[in-house]
Amino acid sequence: MNTKKISLLFCLAILVFSGLRAQQHDWENEQVIGINKELGHSTYVPYATISQALSDYAEDSPYYECLNGTWKFNWSKSPDLRPLSFYKSDFDVSYWDDIDVPSNWQTKGYGKPIYTNAKYPFGKNPPYVMGEKVPDTWTHSKLPNPVGSYRRTFEIPDSWDGKKIYLHFAGVQSAMYVWVNGEKVGYTQGSMTPAEFDITPYIKKGENMIAAEVYRWSDGSYLEDQDFFRLSGIFRDVFVFAVPELHIRDFFVQSELSSDFLSAVLKTNLSFSNDKYRGAASIEAYLLKDGETYNGEKPVFVKNISKRESAKKDFNLNIETNIEHPKLWSAEIPNLYTVVFVLKDALGNTTEVLGTPFGFRKIEIKDSQLWVNGKSVKLKGVNRHEIDPVNGRALSYDLMLRDIRLFKRFNINTVRTSHYPDNTWFYKLCDRYGIYMIDEANLETHGFGYGKESLAHDAKWQKAHVDRNVSMVERDKNHPAVIIWSMGNEAGHGVNFEACRKAIKAIDSIRPIHYSIYNKVADIESKMYPSVEWLDNTGKKESPKPFIMCEYAHAMGNAVGNLQEYWDVIAKHKRLIGGCIWDWVDQGLNKEISGKPGEYFFAYGGDFGDRPTDWNFCVNGLTTPDRSITPKMEEVKKVYQYITVSPEDIVNGKIEIKNNYQFINLNKFDASWEMSCNGKVIDAGSLASVNLKPGDSKELVIPFTEPQLQPGGEYFLKVLFKLKKDELWAKRGYLLAWNQMAVPFDVPEVKSEQDIPGGIQYEEKGDRIEVLGKYFTLCFNKKVGTITDLSYWGTDIFKTNEEAVYGGKRIEDQRHTIWQDTITSEKVAGPMLNIFRAPTDNDRKISQNWRKAGMDDMHPEVKSVTVSKDDGDVNIKTFIVSKSSEGYIVRQHTSYKIYGNGFIDVNTEFDPDTLDYSLAKLGFIMRMPKGFEKVNYYGAGPHENYRDRLHSASIGQYKTTVNDMFVPYLRTQECGNRSNVRWFTITNYNGIGMMIKGDPMVNFSALHYTPEDLDRANHPYELKKRQETIVSVDLEHLGLGGGSCGPGPLDCYQLKTHKAVFSFSIRPYSDIMGTFSQVAIKKVGE
């Protein structure tokens, strides 16, 4: 082929390609991010008066009309099936469904929510979202790109004549066309920041009609590959507003504080837009404290605008004003103001009033630290997705307020808006209540990885990258709560982020910039899920940049182990400024239980039949979807608290208190103390006002009198700090910080019991050893090597059912465990070896080893049993070798010493096969009959705790029930443990049962489910509650760690395979025997 032909074909190919590009859908074109869309600006509603602006209640404004509410709605599973002419006034939509706006259409029954972490749920071929072949099992194969068509009518007040009218969509996912009265207005994408259109040319008097066509997927979806449920629709507020011909288009208010922070320069940049106004004008600004009413105060500045200047279509004014003695804003003391701008015409008539929250504060990075108002701050943070179990990402004000109040109550001072700008009301709440914000752009391309394939390297996508950052900054720049801009998340690195940084700094040169993956363009270095050791080494390195863990302590399921160790390291190094836990709330959505109308469960990935999916990887929250309190939150509250109390000479009451707040004096709190003996408070008092400035520490003496020391008594001193007065987020008396310290008094020893009932007898009957005492009967089975039956006062404590019972045979599929029915010959009620726990989400990796070793299917082989009697006691000794189906072995020497009063001392030496990984747990499992529901214990509580999530649990006596010990993690797993337990009782409603006393301590749980029950279920509603009580008594557990995404438990919290001795006693308990402590303190034998 000659050169001319080749050239001709090449040119034809170029023309064809260009033609195809010309026919490209807007929603599959990375260069089209909006059509006829207004430039981004600060959030505002125009008002008529200063008082209206101060109230910040949009409905008060005569220039605002809310379009939330009922819209007509049609859902089509693909663009080719959408109603093409629905935007025309004569198109009949009366037969369409009604839908609430704002909402996500998936939560209203249209289509399916899809959860993936990083995998794109459509064929990957940017910028196209349709046409690529996907597996038939994928949701996309059947619902390639659903389209929602929305219609509603509205009326414009006559008072809006002559004004410009704008239509505002606060959030639409993922792309949308808009028509008004049948005329096409524009197009938008970029789901998490507003789309605003000038609809003045399309409006008429009387009734108007608006139509919106929303696409589930667009090229913008490539930049929205966040770890969340993929939802669609108009999910934030919609409204119209009117402005005068000359109006304030935007404003940016900043402050420059003096070096002594006693005065400030208020810097205001005002952007004006003018259509046809040709007169002079003036602008006034008022500065009022949050909550104040306007009583004729003078403006802080008045600026006249000449006729010549106002005649320009667009112009800016920069105004500086000195302010003396401003109250400073911080998360601890959020002194908030409202800046109100009043625009007047040449005759002095008010034409527009705008307001914005404002705080005087200084953000800077120096000496490798983050400083707020001259104080080095630590960010005690969480990541937060927007999620409501009923409404998806359409969050109510009340739910946002609940989140903020919980932040404050649990000592959380920072939120990262992972991974997109949130609802604007959330920012106002953070301003008012005092929460630092890391505001993150709606930009994640995780499915491309972090290398050269990332769109951050592709210049064609630079426009979209920059737009998403600029839209965020323009919207949120006036919020004092926003102290850091984050350019996105897991979107690779490349020139596009250099462009983003440049664009942000052109708007706001003060706030520092964060971005995890590409620290060359960030002012703050960060990393996700480092180990404690790595963090410590990083803190030692010299760098001008502070360091933050933008994600850490992955809170998936039963998690948040070794949080205190992270903060011990953070406290050591000045450049470590904190971290944000992943994440705040379990991303679960309500789904009706099949066959049970009106009953719902929290669903995660895959529960809606959505594919592909990453299953329950979206339920990583400290709190549940409905914001219930979890044990994880209690640990965060304790570790994040700002007050440290440590013992000095504790026996004589001397302690040291340190104030770790940056701005709050401890005289804000009521301080008190409690002295306890064996878990019961025996003395208490208040402390005089602790006048301790931020950062200071001092010694105090607690004015207690040494108590009359009880034999074997264990004494603790607890110091508590509670709110002295009501706050916005909690009432007076709310406990914010505490510390408990052991007091090592020289207590007398407990004397052994001398009046133990005699007459204990035993008899061997084949495989059975029957022991009979005054108050009890006991049966020991030689074949299984343990107690099978035990009764106190005629009440069965253990009762072995000899009939065939349900067992389990495990078969693995690619998702989780499936169980099939098998038959076993016996169900043993008494103590049996147990080294398996229902894997937590953090056990995901190591539990594969447990299963391969067969630790969930151990079979005891009794090698020897001996029985003897001496001094009135019966002694049974066993040697058992428990072997799994895969050959793993635990050798076990156990002795049972049975006293005449029914006390049974159990002493075991475990000798497990050596492994290079940790066991799950080491101990016994027991089964008590129906009716044993009441639980009392002396140990760490009151909530669930484990060896590396123990700081929030204080030592005391606690009362609970077997039902309440169950923790309903969204995927069922190990739960309910209590650590450092000296004794516990489980009794029936007649007050009869058993006590187990540790020697010295045990871990225990009491549930209506076995570990296998918890393992085979996927959700709490799938569990079948057993009538009996399943009691686990363990020497120790593997720690929780953060291994679902990050490091596993620290070495000190591993459960290594080596010989271990475990001792405890089983005791009868009845109310007639005295208090729990009296029974527990009894000592028999030597």
Which one-letter amino acid corresponds to residue 973?
Q
Distance of CA 1068 to the CA centre of its chain: 43
* Cα distance between residue 1048 and residue 289, in whole Å: 48
Catalytic, out of 490, 525, 714, 944: 490
Do the bridges between strand 513-514 and strand 482-486 make them parallel or antiparallel, or are there none, so unpaired?
A: parallel
- What is the 3-state secondary structure of 284-328? EEEEEECCCCCCCCCCCEEEEECHHHHCCCEEEEEEEEEEECCCE
Catalytic, out of 386, 474, 525, 551: 551
Strands (E), 871-977: 873-884, 889-898, 904-912, 921-928, 934-941, 954-961
Task: For residue 592, indicate whether it is catalytic.
Answer: no
326 within 8 A of 362, measured Cβ to Cβ:
no
Helix, strand or coil for residue 233? strand
C-alpha distances (whole Å) from 300 to each of 246, 318, 722, 870 are 22, 14, 39, 94
What are the helix and strand counts (H, E) for the chain?
15, 63
Before 1019, cis peptide (omega within 30)? no
Strands (E), 823-872: 823-824, 832-834, 858-870
Please, which residues bridge with residue 658 across strands?
Answer: 644, 697
933 within 8 A of 962, measured Cβ to Cβ:
yes
| Among the listed residues 197, 199, 148, the one whose alpha carbon sits nearest the alpha carbon of residue 175 | 148
Helix, strand or coil for residue 680? strand
442 within 8 A of 192, measured Cβ to Cβ:
yes
* Cα distance between residue 236 and residue 220, in whole Å: 18
Which one-letter amino acid corresponds to residue 325?
H
Distance of CA 264 to the CA centre of its chain: 37
Cβ atoms within 10 A of the Cβ of 611, count? 20
* Cα distance between residue 1032 and residue 1023, in whole Å: 18
Q: Considering Cα of 438, then 444, then 448, then 454, what sign does the dihedral take? A: negative
C-alpha distances (whole Å) from 365 to each of 302, 511, 513, 524, 663 are 34, 9, 11, 9, 18
Helix, strand or coil for residue 26? helix
Written as one string, the DSSP assignment of 328-366 is BB-SSSB--EEEEEEEEETTS-EEEEEEEEE-B--EEEE
Cβ atoms within 10 A of the Cβ of 89, count? 13
Which one-letter amino acid corresponds to residue 577?
I
Extract the tokens encoding 121: 């749920």
Burial class (CB in 10 A: 0-12, 13-18, 19+), 763: exposed
Burial class (CB in 10 A: 0-12, 13-18, 19+), 668: middle
In sequence order, which residues have a C-beta less than 8 Å from that of residue 818 and are 6 or more positions away?
Answer: 810, 811, 812, 1016
* Cα distance between residue 546 and residue 566, in whole Å: 16
* Cα distance between residue 683 and residue 701, in whole Å: 15
* Cα distance between residue 970 and residue 586, in whole Å: 8
Task: For residue 490, indicate whether it is catalytic.
Answer: yes
* Cα distance between residue 905 and residue 903, in whole Å: 7
In sequence order, which residues have a C-beta less than 8 Å from that of residue 568 and are 6 or more positions away?
Answer: none
Task: Indicate which residues carry an active-site annotation.
Answer: 490, 551
